[in-house]
Structure 1
Amino acid sequence: MKLKHIVTLFFAFLAFGVNGQTSSNETLFTVDGSPVYVSEFVKVYKKNLDLVQDESQKDVDEYLKLFTNYKLKLKEAKALGLNEDANYLRELNNYKKQLAKSYMTDSKVTDALVEEAYQRVSQEVNANHILVKVDENASPNDTLAAYNEIVKLRERALKEGFEKVRAEVHNGQTVFGEQLGYFSGFRMVYKFENAAFNTPVGEISQPFRTRFGYHIVNVLDKRPSKGEVTVAHIMVVEKPNDSLAEKPETRINDIYKKLQQGEDFASLAKQFSDDKNSAVKGGELAPFSSGQLRAKEFEDVAFGLKNEGDVSEPFKTDFGWHIVKLINKKPVPEFETLKPELVNKVKRDSRSQLIDEALIDKLKAKYNIGNPPSDLEYFASILNDDYFSRNWKLPENLDGEKPFLKIGNKQLTYQDFANYLENQQRNTTPKQSFETLVASKYEAFLKQQLLNYQEENLENENEEYADIVTEYRDGLLLFELMENTIWNAGTTDTIAIKEYYEANKSKYVSPERIDAVIASSSKQKTLKKVAKLLKQDMAVERIKSLVNSNDAIEVIFTSEVMEVNHQALPEGLEFKKGISKIHKHNGAYVIVKINDVLPETQKTFEDAKGLVIADYQNHKEEKWLSELAEKYPVKVDEDVLSKVKKQLNNK
């Protein structure tokens, strides 16, 4: 998602619910005389209460500061005329069109498709197929030839066996014979999914067409879905730039031996896993379902573990070496739990065409659109063969003002439909009768006009849609303001940024680090032995050979330059040369040999540039907000605020 849309959505949350306020509401504060009502503030505060991470923002007074700053920025944006900018209006209109799709639907058809989708995500089909490629807009002759070929291939497959024919005819260009493996709902285009799920096991489907061409499917098996699995893993990756690092296969096997010796999986993940995102959580990953991961080997191992707590042997994927521990397995969730996700998928899927068709029928009934008008005969009469070569022109004597079609309170004329015909020449299929052509163009024109009319009037007909559009309208406006005023400072305020760096140099230093060796073991006694050997300046490889064996890994070493927050370092470790005492850390014992302490160093402007720009922008915004507060005075009604606090604190 683009930065613009992320920020806009944040502002949209902040602006939620500003529609429909009335003068009867109590005024909480004014911005340059414009009222902001209690109901708006309370609604926004409650909605955002669970979204803010800074506890201070849950304080009513602190949140009021955020909200007044927000209103000040909106006031400035409108004063600058940003709400009339062509790019802003274009972006807003594009969003409204996209959003409107969610509100322009037929609920009954959607519900039926969602229920069907649930049945299909609850199952997996194993199938192979043969495809004869043909373009969606191919000529009738090419289309017929492809269809005849797939019919012949099906007849052969029934006699000779599907697998034999599939392997023989595949050429990877015009004919594809592929083994698809197991898949569930939404993994294939809808027409293909339909054929696979509706064909009995062991049978070959009738020929069917998708946008790729004509297919036949051989269904090999059907089974319940594997559901969802949650695992933890320890990952070790190759470190080509680290001459001290072990080979990943050696390191993962050492870790596996420690697991076999009874050491804690989460503790080892925290110490040694190279997947830093999951290491801090003991290696735990987000739940996933069959077919969701890019690494099929990882998925197979994860689903292959049977009992909670089972641990795999080390194995390799394209991402590195892994050990996986099963945390839990869950079947496909209940329908009501999964329904919201399925609704979104259905609306994005090719199934949506069925929903669109149902919506058009619904709108025809809503606006009393009957049979095609008799005027179509006139339009068929004014066409000629120039239409098929895209050279047709409107006749000069066209009565453009004559009424043609009425939708709600919108009257469409002969000119509207004639213009549509003229513009659609480029999308015309090979030659056909003018009557057939005009009839098909009319249906497309009617659909377009019905959807346009519904979309244009949606803000008046649907309150929820109107609220969301208002949120986005203000959020987008704020984005434009912030981008022009603050965020572009990195490219426009070069001198000021350098001056800010010079004035605040002490903020931009590289922290103190150590060049160290860490020894980790579950046994304190073993580490005492290691400490003695380290004091003798014995090489790490030599120490490993003395304390570890092929059958038992007692100690794992980590050697690198580290900052104080390194995952392997114990809390409170003093940075000084020498060997530390034994510390308890992440469920194990560790000692640290510090070879050298690298002091904190001043970062150059170029090294710190990203941080400097961010800090400078914050500094500039604070100053700018003070200027806005002077330009647009904010007056808070303290009595009303007191009542608001009481109301919110007693929630």
Structure 2
Amino acid sequence: MAQINSEDILFTVDETPVYASEFVRVYNKNLDLVKDESQKDVDAYLQLFINYKLKLAEAKSLKLDEKGSYKRELKSYRNQLAQNYLTDNTVTDELIEEAYARTKTEVKARHILVRIDETASASDTLAAYMKIVKLRNRLIDEGFDTVKKEVHDGKTIFAEDLGYFSAFKMVYSFENAAYKTQVGDVSQPFRTRFGYHVVQVLDKRPARGTVTVSHIMVEKNKEGDTISDPEARINDIYKKLNQGESFESLAKQFSDDKSSADRGGELSPFSMGQLSSPEFETAAFNLVIVGQVSEPFKTNFGWHIVKLLDKKPVPPLEEIKAELEEKVKQDSRSKIIDETRIQNLMTRYKVPEDQPALSYFVKILNTNYYKQTWELPKKFTGDKLFLTIDTKTYSYQDFGDYILKRQPLFSEKVSFSDIIDISYKTFLEDALKTYQDANLENENQEFADIVGEYRDGLLLFDLMETEIWNAGSRDTVALQAFYDANKDNYYWNKRIDAVIASSVSRKDIKKAAKLLKKDVSIDNIKAKLNVNDEIHVIFTTGILEENHQSLPEDFEFETGMSDIYEFNDGYIVAKVKEVLPKTLKSYDEAKGNVISDFQTDKEDRWMQDLHAKYTVSVNESVLTKVRNLINNQ
């Protein structure tokens, strides 16, 4: 945006400026999302942007930005978004790469744990350490089973088989020991929050990765279904597969998963735990050879057959980086990230490592602190400067009040010096984080832009809900009137009530056509043609609209027996009982479309009112600069 100055005003709404830099940024950001080519035109997009700003002006005129619910939601979103901008991504990325490497390998291990509390005394801690050293030696000399039988009590000493695990399944320090120990070796003693461990690694194997399959689905019965037995239907399809018919062709003809049927049933690659159907995942991963087909199986969605198309190892890092990042931040690894963040903030805000005032606070403590009755001395110099973080200052009084509130946290086991050191560390960390958070919009323009967009989006949602959506769904009188005035827009397409027979064999479809013409029942036709446990013909019945997946595009909508059509690598023939012509929908039948159209019409008229209410003035010279900049990008 070298040709545009930060102060260039593109237009005003009642003298409120809208800057060219904001318009160009939003235009470029949304360019790839716009499907209507006309909206890529700068002038056309400007009209959309003006409408957007008019709505915001109206929202503020209605004081929607002063609502408590709006303020709470914006604050919640800002706090959540800020977490992505408050840490040093370098350390996070290193931990993500390490975690990614570990997700590619599963470790099989067992361990011995001597439990010890994190706040245990030095003597108890030493005793626990010596005990785990002895148990490690016994594990190496005598074997795990012998040691487990003698020492495992499930209270203070644990000897456990852990099976296979990968990254994030154990606390980070345990995971480190397991992955750094060679197969067959026993680690050196290490400590977690549970106590002292040793881990013996038994095996390491590659993770399962992702799988790509095609599937044919027959939905479970719903009210009004014309197929009475989905299990029987999936079994008929399975028999046709075993007869050598194409999986992809059958999926196109009969799969109820409309999102994949046109692609021959192919699904996007997935890993274990990614879908909402464990039964489906298990069946898919149990397939070994590309091209292998499962037997029919049932899930909460209905009945399925799956065909293996591809198996891949753990996806590339780029595909799962966001997921790993979230796990890293929630894992015990986050302590490393936090420590690095604090150190970087101290450097950025020029906070010295030493704090000479701490010695003064050690001196003013006494044994009343342990009794929670301690108070600041009468001659306490509270207004003296204690700490400076960039432009923010803290006084002796600030830190004095802080340690005053923390009296319940410490026992006599903690010295006065440690109390002050621990308290200062937490005080400093909180102060650094608070200052960074409060100044994040000033320090990070991207963050400021995103928060601004969300803020405006919340206002627009409330405005549209108030002015358009609620009125569109609740004003029944206006909706009925709109329907009455626009009935020509609400018609059923032409439909047929028919029985359709499908087969890969022209010979079998001719036989089915003759039997249908003689009014032979579907069950009897199946009995005649689907013999020797082989499925030659499958039937679809019910009311079907134009462009139904079972009908060719050139299908003639006429009563009686249809011609035989080549379709989806096979043949179909239909017996049409009735042709239902294009007919007017009743108000209740058209209500969903009526509401949508009513809201669109209401919004168009409302926008005309906003243009009349607010004065918009476009700076043509700045607009010319914007056009030149965008057209030369």
TM-score, length basis structure 1: 0.80
Would the aligned equivalents of 1:236 and 1:248 in 2 still touch at CA under 8 Å?
yes
Would the aligned equivalents of 1:383 and 1:434 in 2 still touch at CA under 8 Å?
yes
Post-superposition offset of 1:147? 9.6
Do residues 583 (structure 1) and 581 (structure 2) align? no
- Other structure's SS at 1:103 match: coil
- Other structure's SS at 1:553 match: coil
Post-superposition offset of 1:141? 13
Give the 3 Å change call, closer, same or farther, for CA 159–593 of structure 1 in structure 2: farther
Q: In the aligned structure 2, how far is the partner of 1:477 from the partner of 1:149?
A: 63
1:244-278: CA deviations, max 9, x gaps?
A: 63644443332233233333322211222233332
Q: Which residue of 2 aligns with 1:559?
A: 541
Letter in 2 for 1:100: A
Structure 1, 418-427 or 205-214: larger mean CA deviation: 205-214
Post-superposition offset of 1:69? 0.9
How well do the aligned residues superpose, as a CA RMSD in angstroms?
4.6
Q: Which residue of 2 aligns with 1:10?
A: none
1:369 aligns with one of 351, 365, 368: 351
**Rg comparison, structure with higher value:** 2
Structure 1, 173-182 or 99-108: larger mean CA deviation: 173-182
Q: Which residue of 1 aligns with 2:328?
A: 346
Post-superposition offset of 1:447? 0.5
Do residues 94 (structure 1) and 76 (structure 2) align? yes
Do residues 409 (structure 1) and 397 (structure 2) align? no
Q: In the aligned structure 1, how far is the partner of 2:377 from the partner of 2:487?
A: 76
- Other structure's SS at 1:630 match: helix
1:166-220: CA deviations, max 9, x gaps?
A: 8999999999998765444345553443343233334565676767888775544
Q: Which residue of 2 aligns with 1:437?
A: 419
Q: Which residue of 1 aligns with 2:520?
A: 538
Give the 3 Å change call, closer, same or farther, for CA 547–74 of structure 1 in structure 2: same
1:459-492: CA deviations, max 9, x gaps?
A: 3333333333333333333334333433343676
Do residues 282 (structure 1) and 255 (structure 2) align? no
Post-superposition offset of 1:553? 2.0
Structure 1, 178-187 or 403-412: larger mean CA deviation: 178-187
Post-superposition offset of 1:635? 4.4
Give the 3 Å change call, closer, same or farther, for CA 326–193 of structure 1 in structure 2: same
| Structure 2 residues without counterparts, runs of 5 or longer | none
Post-superposition offset of 1:495? 5.0
2:236 aligns with one of 254, 258, 277: 254
Q: Which residue of 1 aligns with 2:612?
A: 630
Q: Which residue of 2 aligns with 1:69?
A: 51
Structure 1, 471-480 or 500-509: larger mean CA deviation: 500-509
Letter in 2 for 1:546: K
1:252-651 paired onto structure 2 within 5 Å = 252-293=234-275, 295=277, 298-306=280-288, 308-316=290-298, 320-333=302-315, 342-343=324-325, 345-371=327-353, 373-380=355-362, 398-424=380-406, 432-489=414-471, 493=475, 495-497=477-479, 499-501=481-483, 503-504=485-486, 507=489, 513-596=495-578, 610-636=592-618
- Other structure's SS at 2:83 match: helix
| Structure 1 residues without counterparts, runs of 5 or longer | 1-18
Q: Which residue of 2 aligns with 1:50?
A: 32
1:185 aligns with one of 158, 164, 167: 167
Letter in 2 for 1:452: T
Q: In the aligned structure 1, how far is the partner of 2:552 from the partner of 2:157?
A: 62
Give the 3 Å change call, closer, same or farther, for CA 131–617 of structure 1 in structure 2: farther
Would the aligned equivalents of 1:489 and 1:613 in 2 still touch at CA under 8 Å?
no
1:35-71: CA deviations, max 9, x gaps?
A: 5455544443333222123444334444333222112
Q: In the aligned structure 1, how far is the partner of 2:507 from the partner of 2:599?
A: 54
Q: In the aligned structure 2, how far is the partner of 1:329 from the partner of 1:113?
A: 27
Q: Which residue of 2 aligns with 1:78?
A: 60
Post-superposition offset of 1:624? 1.6
Post-superposition offset of 1:357? 0.5
Post-superposition offset of 1:446? 0.6
Q: Which residue of 2 aligns with 1:7?
A: none
Post-superposition offset of 1:448? 0.8
Do residues 105 (structure 1) and 87 (structure 2) align? yes
Post-superposition offset of 1:449? 0.6
Post-superposition offset of 1:306? 4.9
Structure 1, 26-35 or 254-263: larger mean CA deviation: 26-35
- Other structure's SS at 1:346 match: helix
Q: In the aligned structure 2, how far is the partner of 1:341 from the partner of 1:308?
A: 28
Would the aligned equivalents of 1:388 and 1:431 in 2 still touch at CA under 8 Å?
no
Would the aligned equivalents of 1:238 and 1:248 in 2 still touch at CA under 8 Å?
yes
Q: In the aligned structure 1, how far is the partner of 2:313 from the partner of 2:187?
A: 29
Letter in 1 for 2:236: D
- Other structure's SS at 1:526 match: helix
Give the 3 Å change call, closer, same or farther, for CA 215–457 of structure 1 in structure 2: same
1:93-119: CA deviations, max 9, x gaps?
A: 433333333223234423422331232
Post-superposition offset of 1:650? 6.9
Do residues 121 (structure 1) and 103 (structure 2) align? yes
Q: In the aligned structure 2, how far is the partner of 1:538 from the partner of 1:149?
A: 84
Post-superposition offset of 1:533? 0.8
Would the aligned equivalents of 1:228 and 1:287 in 2 still touch at CA under 8 Å?
yes
Q: In the aligned structure 2, how far is the partner of 1:35 from the partner of 1:303?
A: 58
Q: In the aligned structure 1, how far is the partner of 2:503 from the partner of 2:25?
A: 54
Would the aligned equivalents of 2:220 and 2:301 in 1 still touch at CA under 8 Å?
no
Post-superposition offset of 1:443? 0.8
Letter in 1 for 2:262: V
Post-superposition offset of 1:606? 6.3
Q: Which residue of 2 aligns with 1:12?
A: none
1:80-104: CA deviations, max 9, x gaps?
A: 4444555444433433333333223
Structure 1, 235-244 or 151-160: larger mean CA deviation: 151-160
Give the 3 Å change call, closer, same or farther, for CA 102–640 of structure 1 in structure 2: closer
Structure 1, 536-545 or 559-568: larger mean CA deviation: 559-568
- Other structure's SS at 1:49 match: helix
Structure 1, 329-338 or 548-557: larger mean CA deviation: 329-338
TM-score, length basis structure 2: 0.82
Q: In the aligned structure 1, how far is the partner of 2:117 from the partner of 2:224?
A: 52
Structure 1, 311-320 or 586-595: larger mean CA deviation: 311-320
Give the 3 Å change call, closer, same or farther, for CA 436–632 of structure 1 in structure 2: same
Q: How many residues align?
A: 633
Would the aligned equivalents of 2:226 and 2:541 in 1 still touch at CA under 8 Å?
yes
Structure 1, 285-294 or 67-76: larger mean CA deviation: 285-294
Q: In the aligned structure 1, how far is the partner of 2:113 from the partner of 2:480?
A: 63
1:207-246 paired onto structure 2 within 5 Å = 219-239=201-221, 241=223, 245=227
Give the 3 Å change call, closer, same or farther, for CA 487–159 of structure 1 in structure 2: farther
Q: In the aligned structure 1, how far is the partner of 2:150 from the partner of 2:258?
A: 48
Letter in 2 for 1:412: Y
Letter in 2 for 1:400: G
Post-superposition offset of 1:450? 0.8
Post-superposition offset of 1:519? 1.5
